[in-house]
A and B are shown apart, each in its own frame.
Chain A
Amino acid sequence: MTGSAGASGSPSPSRPPRTTRRAVLLAGGGLAVGAAGTGAAWALTGSSAAAPDPPAPPAVMPPDDDLMREHGVLKRVLLCYREMTSQVQAGGSLDARHLHDAALVIHDFIEGFHEGLEEGFVFPRLRQARLVSGTVTTLLTQHARGRVLTQFILAHATASGVASARTRGELAAAMQAFVRMYEPHEAREDTVVFPAFRQLLSAQELAGLGQHFAELEHQQFGRDEFTAMVGRVAGIEQALGIYDLTRFTPDVTAYQPPQ
């Protein structure tokens, strides 16, 4: 099986909990989120004061917002997968390094961390409350299937693997299956599962769990892994020629009404 780069759960008890990524200085302190609050609430609180505010204690990002931000990393890898799949299907080549690196982001950060948070803290609470149970079962099944696809991609994303037309085709099919599954998967989580989860937690529970997520991230990676992953995915996008956001802006001349 493929190796795991940095996904080990070795705790680092000597280091203080990290507060860089999720820590947001909120004037007045505290976490201004309620059970029915939105993701924007915590970010906007305390920003209206004209006079400089005294230093405030750091607050944490609500856990569902945190998970949705991690979904952004997943979305960008799906974009990479789609681009590589298109290249293969157009008869082009496939760079094993880029594919392996993209799959490692999935393996280490999404499957080895993000999904563990969902499986350990979000899904059990929803099941306990008998909310969206059928959806949760499907999501768990899809996590497991996604891991199988990732193991396949990692095992075959080698120089010799991509040199074979048959293996390139299999890799493209695996990427395509992964994208097809995870696009609706994460959309359902963002719009149904996480909102239902948020409704179950009090403001105090949200704050505590957000802090716990931050501590778990530091325990596992010893750094701000989200930011590191965003940079890593950006590098893959650049290598694939899809980093420039303007590339996705359509020309709408044909759709404009005649003058």
Chain B
Amino acid sequence: MRPDGGPRPMRSATAGGCAALVLLAAGCGSSPGTGTQAAGQPSGHGPTVQIMARSLPTVGTVLVTAKGYALYMFAPDNHRSVTCTGVCAGTWPPVKLLAGGSLAAGPGVSAALLGSDPDPDGGRVVTYDGWPLYTYTGDIDPGQATGQDIDLNGGDWYVLRPSGQPLIPRP
């Protein structure tokens, strides 16, 4: 379901952690540190998360995953923290940075703007210019941006320009 990361792991009902019902790779066991990590620093043997830029119909050039799925920011995150957790993250799977993983900027993407923030659900989420990045389950195929300008799960969702600016329509 997650376009690039496979199904979202189920958290244990009792422990609320990673002794999961269906524990898959992403989301658990990552370093629980706080603050934003520097981008592009290989820190171990984990997979590299690559953030790309691509021109999509209707929205123009925006950030996408390595497979071409649109990436979104969530207004309540307010440039600084992951607030889409729990049920929200079922619809908007965050882009996870696994323990020991690294970040890579594709052409047109600024490596200096890449980072990661701790996810209250566990692990870390990739950020761009401070915005935690999410995919959308409504984007069935790469190149779609069906979650653009949707108000859901407590706030508005927008795709991001490679400059880090959300694409907020004019009123």
Q: Which residues of A contact B137 (CB under 8 A)?
A: 119, 123, 140, 143-144
Instruction: Give Cα A137–Cα B140 distance, bound, in whole angstroms.
Output: 7
- State whether A216 touches B21 (Cβ < 8 A): no
- B76 located at the interface, meaning its Cβ lies under 8 Å from any Cβ of chain A in the complex: yes
Q: Give the nearest-CB partner of B8 in chain A.
A: A120
Instruction: Give Cα A140–Cα B140 distance, bound, in whole angstroms.
Output: 8
Total interface residues on A, CB under 8 Å, equals 45
- State whether B83 touches A9 (Cβ < 8 A): yes
- State whether A8 touches B154 (Cβ < 8 A): yes
- B68 located at the interface, meaning its Cβ lies under 8 Å from any Cβ of chain A in the complex: no
Within A69-106, the residues touching B (CB, 8 Å) are none
| In-complex Cβ contact of A119 among B6, B76, B90 (8 A) | B90
Q: Which residues of A contact B120 (CB under 8 A)?
A: 11
| In-complex Cβ contact of B22 among A118, A143, A205 (8 A) | A205
A-contacting residues of B (Cβ < 8 Å)? 1-2, 6-8, 10-14, 16, 21-22, 24, 76, 83-91, 93, 120, 136-140, 146-147, 149-156
Contacts A116-B90, A137-B140; is A151 near B151 (CB within 8 Å)? yes
Instruction: Give Cα A88–Cα B160 distance, bound, in whole angstroms.
Output: 40
Among A43-51, A107-115, A181-189, the stretch that binds chain B is A107-115
Contacts A8-B155, A151-B150; is A120 near B89 (CB within 8 Å)? yes
Q: Give the nearest-CB partner of B89 in chain A.
A: A120
- State whether A127 touches B1 (Cβ < 8 A): yes
| In-complex Cβ contact of B86 among A128, A137, A209, A220 (8 A) | A220
Q: Which residues of A contact B14 (CB under 8 A)?
A: 208, 211
- State whether B10 touches A209 (Cβ < 8 A): yes
Instruction: Give Cα A208–Cα B48 distance, bound, in whole angstroms.
Output: 32
29 A–B contacts from the bound complex (CB under 8 Å) = A1-B150, A4-B151, A4-B153, A8-B154, A9-B86, A9-B88, A9-B153, A11-B85, A11-B120, A111-B152, A112-B87, A112-B152, A112-B153, A116-B87, A119-B1, A120-B93, A121-B10, A123-B1, A140-B1, A140-B138, A151-B151, A201-B21, A205-B22, A207-B13, A208-B21, A209-B21, A210-B13, A212-B12, A212-B21
